[in-house]
Amino acid sequence: MIGLGALLALTGAVWTLQGLGYIGGSFMSGNTTWAIIGPIVLVAGLALAVWTLRRRS
């Protein structure tokens, strides 16, 4: 679950950068929808990883 959280966080970061136009070459590039969805996915991934770590201890 930690790995899934990390993967979600990484995906959210990439989507955010694409939405803001820092990463080009995709239909998501420069699209503000992905600049909004990206941080939501990023926070969800971090929350999943932290929740899993806390549950283990």
User: How would DSSP label each residue in 16-52?
Assistant: HHHHTTSS-SSTTTT-HHHHHHHHHHHHHHHHHHHHH
Query: CA 22, 24, 48: angle at the middle one, nearest 5?
Result: 65
Token readout for 49 is: 């990883």
| pLDDT of res. 12 | 97
| pLDDT of res. 56 | 83
Please report, in tens digits, the pLDDT of each residue of the chain (57 residues total).
999 999 999 999 999 999 999 998 989 999 999 999 999 999 999 999 999 999 987
Q: Rounded distance, CA 12 to CA 37, Å?
A: 7
| pLDDT of res. 48 | 97
Note the pTM of the prediction, 2 decimals.
Answer: 0.88
